[in-house]
Amino acid sequence: GAVVSQHPSWVICKSGTSVKIECRSLDFQATTMFWYRQFPKQSLMLMATSNEGSKATYEQGVEKDKFLINHASLTLSTLTVTSAHPEDSSFYICSASRRTTEAFFGQGTRLTVV
Amino acid sequence: KQEVTQIPAALSVPEGENLVLNCSFTDSAIYNLQWFRQDPGKGLTSLLLIQSSQREQTSGRLNASLDKSSGRSTLYIAASQPGDSATYLCAVPETGANSKLTFGKGITLSVRP
């Protein structure tokens, strides 16, 4: 089956630094990928839609200058959390779909900002 | 705007029991519905996908049904095992395939040995 790989699975960074999270579709091309954020004991909240070759579409309330998304190829999207602060600590998950099949999710990245 | 609801939020059952997890959605014009499993601190694992034209899908001990007219889906787990303990989420795409998903809040299942 289709696999979406996310890296790193966890990261600890100092406040004020930037962190990059990668999301790869391993056996299919994904023109669209999605980035979600999940707080403890809550469901997933969509942050943005990553479109290959064009700008990402951000959900209302998500700071596009803080959460930079780059979808440079059909198999890779990256999310960069810039100038991270403790309130950015969360679980970030990406997903990708083939054209007519189910959505597949990465393993998630636990970000802790200290 | 589509809303997806999963009730109850948590469920505890003894091992071996057959159980049903419910999912309801407000807009019946869905393209498909997908059930996921999430273990603590992990990503989502796709369990079953039901296309809008289908009534049910089966995979091993899991069976998912879909009733678009009533805005409901159920995930049936047969002969539950402690390893089934996890959070189960249902989700529907906003528009067609490959569009963003609207999730329910999930049902946290605990299967007691």
Distance of CA A69 to the CA centre of its chain: 8
* List of chain A residues whose C-beta atoms are within 8 Å of the C-beta of residue B97: 97, 99-101
Cβ within 8 Å of residue A50, ≥6 positions away: A23, A32, A33, A34, A35, A56, A69, A70, A71, A77, A79, A94
* List of chain A residues whose C-beta atoms are within 8 Å of the C-beta of residue B34: 102-103
A21 contacts A6 by C-beta, under 8 angstroms: yes
What are the pLDDT digits (tens) for B59-89? 999 999 999 999 999 999 999 999 999 999 9
The residue of chain A nearest to residue B32, with distances taken between CA atoms, is A102
How far from each other are the two terminal CA atoms of chain B, in whole angstroms? Answer: 41
The mean pLDDT value for A28-54 works out to 88
Q: Among A21, A102, A105, A107, which would you mutate to test the B interface (most chain B Cβ atoms within 10 Å of its Cβ)?
A: A102
* List of chain A residues whose C-beta atoms are within 8 Å of the C-beta of residue B36: 105
Per-residue pLDDT band at A51 (split at 50, 70, 90): confident
The sheet that has A76-81: what strands, in order across it? A4-7, A19-25, A76-81, A67-73
The residue of chain A nearest to residue B48, with distances taken between CA atoms, is A102
| B112 CB burial (10 A radius; 0-12, 13-18, 19+) | exposed
